[in-house]
Each structure stands twice: as C-alpha cells, then as structure tokens.
Amino acid sequence: MSEATSMEFLFQLAKGLAKQFGPNCEVVVHDLASNDPDSSIVAIENGHVSGRKVGDGPSHIVLEALRGDSSVLKDHFGYLTKTKDGKILKSSTIFIRDDDGKPVGIFAINYDITLLLSMEETLNQFTATEDQQREPEPIARNVSDLLDELIGQSVKLVGKPVPLMTKDDKVKAIRFLNDTGAFLITKSGDKVCKFFGISKYTLYSYIDEAKEG
C-alpha cells in the first residue's frame, strides 16, 4: 500500500469514527513525513472540540515524534488532555510508521468528556454518605445468611484466617459478634463454636471476657 493510499484510508477512517461517535469525538491525522510541525494537521473531523483546523499544529506529541528517538515512541491510549478553553478530553494517539519503522503520521482521537465528568461528580455527590469508607451494607435473605455475613465481618475485622488466630484474636471476633447481636439468632452459638473451633464453655468465657474488655 502506497503512502498516498495509506493517508487516504486514514482520512476515511477519521470521518467514519467521527460519524459513529458524534460531535464530541474529534479525530485528527498528522503528517510527520513533511517534517513541518507548524502545519502537521492534514485532516481533522469535529475540529470544534479543540478549536483546530487543517494546517494547524504542532502538538507536544508531534514535536516528540519529530525530535525524539523514534524507536522509543509508543502509542498512548485513554489519557486525559485539556483544551485551552477548559474542555477535558479522553485521548488516544497512534503512530503510523513506514516499512522501516519510522513515524510518518499520527492518528489521534480526542473525546470531549467534560459533561460526563460533571455528571459523574453530580452522581457522586448524590450517592455520597457520611461514612465514605464504609462498604455497602449487604441485605441478607434469612437469619442464616445474616449470621454468615456477621461471622465473615468478624474475621475481616481481625484480619487473619481462623487457623492463624490467637486467643485474643478470637475474643476480638466474639466481641464483635456479641456487639452486633449475632447471639440473638437461634442456635448461633453452635455455628460460631464450629466456625472458630471452640467449645460452648470457651465461647461463654470469651463472651464474658469481651464484655469486661
């Protein structure tokens, strides 16, 4: 495929992507072969996004490609950029290379996400709670599930699996279960004893110790 044919394909691709994703999607083709960064843009769709047009240039990416070591240049995907008038764009830059691996063009996509970020902030404010660090509270289907959930939380509180727990660790877990009302659930003591590998007598002594602590 000749260089002219390749560029024509990029022009078509730019037009197609811009049509597909709408007016917030700017697609730019830079020509690096001419070594003229002052007018590197040879095709641009939805140029209103960044305020540029054909014949404009350069960008820091273009200068990097023209002045830097082409062998270390890498494509960049999904990074944030900002226009002069404050728009936030999600950008991707792909280097077009010749048969020798030399960059001869840049295909760039810049999507204006300013409004989306504003909506995200609004949603975050709406869903915010006083305790930002707390995970969403699970809703148990029955008391058995609830007890399983509380036991799981007690283990998470201790921060280690049962086989590695010391006596103090187990007392800490039992204190949590007692404070959360886990032992109000029928036959919860049997399940807790089995889970922590302790006897009923030990459980009651841990509960008493937890109350004293």
Per-residue pLDDT, averaged over 75-97, amounts to 89
pLDDT at 131: 59
* Residue 116 identity (one-letter amino acid): L
Domain membership of residue 184 (yes or no) is yes
User: What is the pLDDT confidence band of residue 190, given thresholds at 50, 70 and 90?
Assistant: very high
Q: Give the count of beta carbons closer than 10 Å to the beta carbon of residue 70.
A: 17
Structure tokens at 130: 């006083």
Q: Are residues 112 and 148 in the same domain?
A: no
**22 with 7: CB under 8 angstroms?**
no
CA distance 71 to 74: 8
Q: Which residues have CB under 8 Å from 207's CB, separation 6+?
A: 174, 178, 183
Same domain, yes or no: 40 and 107: yes
> Rounded CA gap, 8 and 160, in Å?
61
Q: pLDDT (tens digit, 9 = 90+) per residue, 103-135?
A: 888 999 999 999 998 888 888 887 776 655 555
Q: What is the distance between the alpha carbons of residues 198 and 190, in angstroms, rounded to a whole number?
A: 10
pLDDT of residue 85: 86
What share of the chain in percent tops pLDDT 90?
Answer: 45
Which has the closest alpha carbon to 146: 103, 207, 192? 192
CA separation for the pair 176, 161 (Å, rounded): 16
Q: Domain tally for the chain?
A: 2
The residues with which 94 forms a beta bridge, in sequence order, are 107
Q: Give yes or no for a contact between 35 and 70, defined as CB atoms under 8 angstroms apart.
A: no
> 113 and 189: one domain?
no
pLDDT score, position 135: 59
Is residue 7 classed as helix, strand or coil in its secondary structure? helix
For residues 29 and 114, state if they share a domain.
yes
Residue 125 placed within a domain? no
Q: Pick the last residue of a domain from 119, 153, 184.
A: 119
Query: What average pLDDT is seen over the chain?
Result: 85
> CB neighbours of 155 closer than 8 A, spacing ≥ 6?
161, 162, 173
Chain-centroid distance, C-alpha 106: 26
Residue 195: inside a domain: yes
Whether the pLDDT of residue 29 is over 90: the answer is yes
Question: 22 with 93, same domain?
Answer: yes
Residues 26 and 62 in one domain: yes
Q: Which domain holds residue 171?
A: 143-212
Higher pLDDT, 62 or 20: 20
CATH number (domain holding residue 7): 3.30.450.20
pTM value is 0.60
Same domain, 103 and 150: no
State yes or no: pLDDT of 191 exceeds 70.
yes
Q: Which whole number is the average pLDDT over 129-156?
A: 74
Residue 137, in any domain of the structure: no
Say whether both 22 and 61 belong to one domain.
yes
pLDDT in tens, 49-70: 998 899 887 676 666 666 667 7
Distance (Å, whole) CA 27 – CA 111: 9
Task: Kindly state whether residues 104 and 40 are assigned to the same domain.
Answer: yes
Q: Are 87 and 161 contained in the same domain?
A: no
